[in-house]
Each structure stands twice: as structure tokens, then as C-alpha cells.
Chain A
Amino acid sequence: QEQLAESGGGLVKPGGSLRLSCSASGFIFSDSYMSWIRQAPGMGLEWISYINRDGSTVSYADSVKGRFAISRDDAEKSLYLQMNSLRAEDTAVYFCARVMGGCIVSWGQGTLVTVSS
């Protein structure tokens, strides 16, 4: 059974940094395209970043471009999101997801990031 488990969330001050991790199991991670999606409190889902299966292609939503970086370690079956220059509006639950042909087909349970002084 496919499983995705995020970790690394927490409370951080504005301007600070945080690195999220997503551990994958139950599928061939190295063959998989992956994305990060976030959900601010009481709001809808917002796609923020995508990485293809060999890491040669990455993309970002305008809201995080230049501040966030997605990466992967296939040996560790892990996906990462390095978040720098964090702002209050980055406060959200962050989900990792597996992507197949553009479709998001599985989700993690999420990790909460709170940006506050």
C-alpha cells in the first residue's frame, strides 16, 4: 500500500528557514513524479512545487519561487522542501503527493508549518 509521511513542520519566525521531508513506501519512488501542496488554515489546496522522476525538472508556484527548493533522494525514498525567507502567509499544512500523468494519485497526511514571531 502506498504511503507518504511528511515531517519537519513546526513554529518558525518570519524570515527563518525550515526543511520538510516526505518519506515514501509501497511504490517505486525512483519512477515517480512528486509534488508539494499546501493548505492555509480554513482555505483550499494550493500546489506549490513539482519534481520529475530524475530531478532534472522542477517547477514552482509564483508564491514560493526563489524562496523554496524541492529535491529528492531516491536512495532514501525521500522528497524534500527547503523553505527560506518564510512569511506569515506561508503558514499552512504542507502535503507531499505522488503524481502520475499530471494526476495527483496519493497524498500524505501533512505537516503543519506556522510562521509567527
Chain B
Amino acid sequence: QLVLTQLPSASASLGASVNLTCSLSSGHRIYDIVWHQQQPEKGPRYLMRVNHDGSFSKGDGIPDRFSGSSSGTERSLTISSVQSEDEADYYCQTWGTDIQLFGGGTKLTVL
């Protein structure tokens, strides 16, 4: 069964780097995923697609400090030089035939 697993929380100091991970269930290592950001009291926003080969493609206007990577069944979102506006919930998302699936989300706190 296809499942996405995220840690519920993470924190980073202002200006530091942080890595958020999304784990695909066993047997699903070739799945690509998407990262979405949801700032407080706002709707989600598409950040980027991370492919199983480690390549990634960002949405329009997404700052350079956001990047993606992949290793095995793990897909990562790295934010370098974290800013206060990066404090948000981050969701990974993948898909099967005619369905979409979300991870539980990671709440990032900027210290």
C-alpha cells in the first residue's frame, strides 16, 4: 500500500539550513513526489516536484533557497538560510491511478 510518512515537526534557527523528509512505503522507490507549503491561515502552495532520480523542478517564484533531492524511498526538501516566512506546514504528495495521496505534514518552526 502506498503511504507517505513525514515527521510531525521540525525546527531551524533563522539563517540556518533545514532538511525535511518524506518517506515512501517499501516497494515504491520509483515514485516521484511534490512538496507543498501551507503558511498559517493560508491555502497550500506548490513548491516543487522531486523525482526519484533526484532531479527537481520548482514552481514559479519559489526562492533559490528551496531545493529537493532523493535517496531510495526518501524524498527531501532542503531550505537553506531559513527565513521567518518559511515557518509553515510542509506536505509531500504523490499519486496513483486517478488518486492523489498526502503525507501527514511537517510543521516547521523558525527559532
Question: Size class of A's contact patch?
Answer: 20 to 34
- How many residue pairs between the two chains, A and B, have CB atoms under 8 Å in the bound complex? 60
The dominant DSSP class at the A interface is strand
Cross-interface CB contact of B46 among A59, A104, A110, cutoff 8 Å: A104
The dominant DSSP class at the B interface is strand
Q: A44-B104, A44-B105, A45-B91 are in contact. Are A103 and B49 (CB under 8 A)?
A: yes
Q: Check A99 against B59 for contact (C-beta < 8 Å).
A: no
Quote the shortest CB–CB distance from B88 to chain A (angstroms). 13
Q: Check A109 against B95 for contact (C-beta < 8 Å).
A: no
Q: Check A47 against B100 for contact (C-beta < 8 Å).
A: yes
Interface residue? A50 (CB, 8 A): yes
Q: Which residues of B contact A (CB under 8 A)?
A: 32, 34, 36, 38, 42-46, 49, 59, 89, 91, 93-95, 98-105
A108 to chain B: which residues have CB within 8 Å?
Answer: 43
Residue of A with least CB distance to B104: A44
Q: A95-B43, A95-B44, A109-B43 are in contact. Are A103 and B95 (CB under 8 A)?
A: yes
Report the separation of the CA atoms of residues A37 and B94 in the bound assembly, to the nearest whole angstrom: 13
Q: A104-B34, A110-B43 are in contact. Are A57 and B98 (CB under 8 A)?
A: yes
Report the separation of the CA atoms of residues A103 and B45 in the bound assembly, to the nearest whole angstrom: 12
B49 to chain A: which residues have CB within 8 Å?
Answer: 103
Top 10 A-B pairs ranked by shortest CB distance?
A: A102-B95, A59-B98, A47-B100, A44-B105, A45-B102, A109-B43, A103-B34, A107-B44, A107-B43, A44-B104
